Structure 1
Amino acid sequence: MESSEPSDVESLPRGGFRCRLCHVTVANKPSLDDHLRGKKHQRLENLRTVRQTQESRSVFVSGFRKGTPASELSDYFQAYGEVANVVMDKDKGVYAIVELQNEEVLEKVLAEPQHSLGGQRLRVKPREKKDFKYNPPRKQGSAKREQLSPEKLAENLCQADDVDAQMSLMVQLFEFSESERRLRDLLVTLFQEVFLEFFPGSAILPFGSSVNGFDVCGCDLDLFLDLEKTQSFQASAKAPNMTQEGASPEVDTRSEDSILSDIDLASATVPEVLELIATVLRKCVPGVHNVQAVLNARRPVVKFCHKESGLRGDISINNRLALCNTRFLQLCTEADERVRPLVYVVRYWAKQQALAGNPFGGGPLLNNYALTLLVLFFLQTRSPPVLPTVSQLKELSNEEEQTTVDGWDCSFPKDSAQLNPSANKENLCSLLAEFFHVFEDYDFAGCVISLREGQQLPLSSFLSSEADNKLKLGPFNLQDPFELSHNVSANVNEKTALRFQRCCRDAAKYCRSLQYQRKSTKGKIWGLVRLFQPGNPEALATDGFIVNLPLTLAAVPPQSCELLNQAGDMRQLWFQKICTGIAFTLRDVLRCSCLETAQGFEEEQAATRSQQQEEQIEAKMKLLSAGSKRPLENDEGEGVLSPSAKKSRIDTFLPTGESMTWDCSTLHRVWLGRRRVRRQLRGTDLDLTEKAGSLELEAKVSELISKQEGETTPTEPLLQFTVCARVTEAASGKQGTCVRLSFTPVPEQAAAFQEFFHFLQGFLPRMVEQYLVTRA
């Protein structure tokens, strides 16, 4: 700590420290000492020292002619002493920073009353000293991720006029920007130029999401290296006594300089060729790093990363069918403008429900290609159909378009103008609702979905020994439209298939509600925004944000049970203790502002009892005044003015509708990064978990997160919401109670509140139970 300037370290409340040089906050003095001895702090200290030394012996020079070279300035100031460096203004060329060897030379230069160079009078003054500031490098693509965050997406979607407009907006928000398209085109051009040098006649062809019409910002760049002409060229070049008719001198020259002399493409294995491609990428393609050949995949590839943009991609050499699939998807998007919005929405919905994704190394989730085919199949089976089947497309193709790839028939028109417009006029809103309705009870395991025929195919046609297509059957069977032996969802397990059906069922139910079909006039979230919320959208549409606390007497310590029994008002006092635990968790553990808005328990109970008695007396007096006889059950039970004490106490102590409400707000995102901060606390104090319970530990985590977010307290709350606690009977029986918590955020923050609410669903019940055990 002695080597640091005093201004580097700032003391924080409750023993914390902040390093202004590195923008790092630590919890205590030992952690601060470790940080100050660390590589990052030492490196920045050295960098600051070098910068300050340079400033102390440098002069600012201006007034010379534009275009004056740095060497001319250096030669001029050499007359006063040695010059260490000259930095020119590259943008305008009107000033320069001249760094001298030491301060003695600096004093000589400044002592000269007038400097001139090439007939121009120079203005020479000491270099301005600036405070050293460390600007951490920003991660590539962070702005795009922020723009497409769930909160930003919800905010944009809620401003649309209807669901159709929301779905079209999804495409605009997720598709490539012009700059990203240009970047990918430039990379493809760069790869083409490099590979032509090593593999004459080769072609680099993009496929997949980059070009099939369903591009999403940041998706991988999939490339296919076509070496067919290269193999032909190599074979003809090696053939003895070949006349070489038609071969140009350019080709011969390239063959001598190419890498083909080291490998025979006709006999080389796929791993050997891929390793060669990886070598070319590492050594000859500028800006490419993290090159790795993945040889154990279903389609072996070479993965790479573009350093400047962070764009990832892969190159394959035996995936020609992917080119046909890409062109087929392009044709579908060109055939009907409703295809793209529907696919974008279904993909994002499945991702939000944790049903889909492209996990590294596979997994039981549906991939984007499978989801896209599922949407296309749905559009094929509408009445009338939106898209034709693959068999119908084959009939429309001409002789030039008849294509066979790897033994599979891949014939279909290349021009969408050959297709007849669809007679189906359903809008996007109804199509999306019908998609969920169709697949909510679909028998994915009992049939095979075929886009070639546009219908379900029985499993028997694939189980027989004579079947040509040895399709791998499973809980989810979706046949590739061209490679008929490939089940594109073969990785999906039974659990994911059933969960997909359940989520479709929930979504279909929600799509029948007004919250989906109409824009909210009260500023509430609606349409696709509710659909994208993880969990059951229908429950959120009708019940809001709900957390149930199913607490039984077993959760209360024995000493508390004795006190409750002695007091008699067991459920009343129990509810009070639970509410105290809720308020403690929100206020003391999560550092939320939490103000009670309900009446006190005793006052509210007395007022409720008095109102009930008055209503009972008034009703019975009316019966008597009308000449009606008193009901028989009143003769056996209580009279008109019988005291309420004769009623069952459990019904009178907690009447239906009794509740406790809090107005809450939070200034910091205390739900983010808790695991990381918890590790920091445990690392700085090994005995923390032994001497502090869960409540104390979580309170310290929230406190540290609040400190790390900023020095000053925000003037406006990050989130504002109300919490209402009510008691309901437990579904398991009469002996238990269940506290139902309803969270209501302000309308304009409903989308942003989602993330906090999902954290509370698991965190709040655990903390309240801990409070009852340790504090009640």
Structure 2
Amino acid sequence: MEVDIITTPKGFHCKLCNIDMPNKPSLDEHVKGRKHKTLTDVRATRQAQEERSVFVSGFQKDASQTQLTEYFQRFGDVENVIFDKDKGVYAIVQFSEIEGQQTALSQLVHEINGQRLRVKPREKKGFKLINKKKTDFQNLQEVLERLKPVLVQAETVNEQMHCVVERIQLTENKKNARALLVQLIQEVFTEFFPDSQIMAFGSSVNTFGIHSCDLDLFLDLENTKTFQARAKSSTEPVAEASSDDGRSEDSILSDIDLSTASPADLLELVAAILKKCVPGVHKVQVVASARLPVVKFHYHQLDLQGDISINNRLAVRNTRYLQLCSGLDARLRPLVYTIRYWARQKQLAGNVGGAGPLLNNYALTLLVIFFLQNSDPPVLPTVDQLKAMACEEEECVIEGWDCTFPSQPIAVPPSKNEQDLCVLLAAFFSFYATFDFAGSVISLREGRALPVTSFIGQTREETTQEEEEEEAMEEEQPRQPHNQALKLGPLNLLDPFELSHNVAGNLSERSQLNFQRECQEAEKYCRSLQYLRKSTKGKPWGLVRLFTPHGEGPKHKNQDGSADKDMSISIPFRLALLPEGLRAQLQQAGDDFRPLWFQRVCVAVVQVFQNVLKCGPGSLTEPTPAGDPGHADAAPGSCVSMDATSEELNTSNDSGVAGQDSPRSTAAAAVGTKRPLSSESSDASTSPQGKKARLGRGPKPGAPCWTWSQTHAVWAGRRKVRRELVKETVDSRPEGSSTALETQVTEHILEKQPRVKVPLVFRVQAKLVGATQSTKVLLQIHPPSEGKDHFRDFFHFLEVFLPKMVDTLMETTM
């Protein structure tokens, strides 16, 4: 048992992660998990740093980090110097090895420029995890409280949106201060890399910056590489070579060849220059694991986080694109600032440390631009339309990607859309409240949503050997990276230019669902009078109520606290879990991939109920209310019992279409075929000839419905039975990941446990939801009139179990 784990009356508690576990298996999973291992490694690293560090004070206020580094270097290699003048004149000197610390402490007297220093061991502090999520939430509440009085007093929502911009945008003073820092870094790096250029990009300069945004810098070394090559090819000695402005080549260029140096080596060199030669810069760290490796740093005087990259020319072009969009329509900036602030308040954005499962500001900005491209009439043109408006001199290709657009907004005709800001804000929420994220890839270049199936199989490995040889021969031309794999996820948002990059690829499924749910809530609010009308009593209205965080949405229950009468379970579209054969079929289907996928889900649902949970055919004898799938006015053949459809749905041919040869196949009906005209499954007394079925009183044609009967409590004690069976087998996979194991669990329950007093007879109706909202199969569960308490427990079990089993069946057997 680890020292971090303590036993509690309710199980176990991890002091390091501040997490409770109910039992030993949960504890074992937690200890093996990434969070616990990461925090353990961080704690060990910090403890090792404390062992190798000394606390230094007593030096003069004008002493620099360089002076301290040079002095303590005599005792051992100095890894870092943490300089702090705010809480008193002191510094933490960190050695690479513990011997350096011990040697420094063994010397009794230390002096720099005649000033005697006080050197002692660094104080050891216990490692404590800070709940950043709670801290961030408290900070957001404080910011909103300061902003609330101003927003309440505004006269219109438009005015409120402009107030948000004024309060949180990057001020001119801070812009000027950042420009001076960029100039300072430019001067330092010019000494080491002649003719190099430091360019700012991102929020600091794209017109959407806020006062706390990072400073993103790009170090362009192309001119330096040219200078170095010219110096080496010159007949004169290298030491006498000079650039156009008279600067001689620094010795650092004699030690490293920029044309062959690896990015990792260059970043280490950049980090060393920042750490030792730029005043006020500390906490320098190379982040080589990022998609685009960077050197992170902190500038003490401005309390500013920054980073420098060397292979990010596309990001500079993206910044120019956002600057152009901002100049094309004045409504873009207030919309972006308001939606970014809303997303932060709802905890949809704001990844800690730049990494996490939430939306980043760049992705949010692109979502706003895409919405404006699809407004009626459009507010902003597509990237392809901008390309057509550019002149020949403005053509731009970076790393094989076409990044052409006009350099000035005057070249683009103004939009004919004259909607107010408040109307556009409400329309933004409405647009994404029903957007099909699962089945679409958002393209700002074309200004439309592309079917996700068209991106299946677009990997680098698909290029032929002749194509690779042809690319290798074109040394002067940049490699065309159009065949790189696009990382598909819950939300697919293409970069405007680098079309193999999903800007929202970091987003988790939960984050995407939260974003869409919050858009739905915001859409409802924007239809209320509280959104448009200012309160005469000074109460929160407009953006104030929109920004106010709220807890989890209300659970859908009846007044007696029971589950809803019309319960539902969603089976989302997860492209990554589908087998290769089905993915290929969906790709061939193109925009019509949803019906085919719906068929396969229906097949899997039947298999779960019939084969895994051992449900039998049901027969409802109780009266059925109007609107129920079993109502007499339902369309003939659209609602059938299990025994009429299970075999057909389980029959799949080589093409993968279940039961396509059977006229009574429910799966075939799901594709949208017309209901049969024969009276084979219809009743003349309930559906007179020539009379159409009423809309809304039964399932539509193509909406399969099954009646099932469950005679045993297959949900009760299921985990215990599974653990017992796993001990006897080598199958240790989690719940829902093994069809054979789950079937065995059900059979064990049927054999050992008695039947329920009243068999649970219920209906399941499937329908496809897509095209205008997130692609998914919605299973409407209609409970029986008897045994509701048992069925409520059964439904809660199905909510978790059924989607997992469908995913497993889709992945392994389809």
Taking structure 1 as the reference length, the TM-score comes to: 0.49
Greater helix content: 1
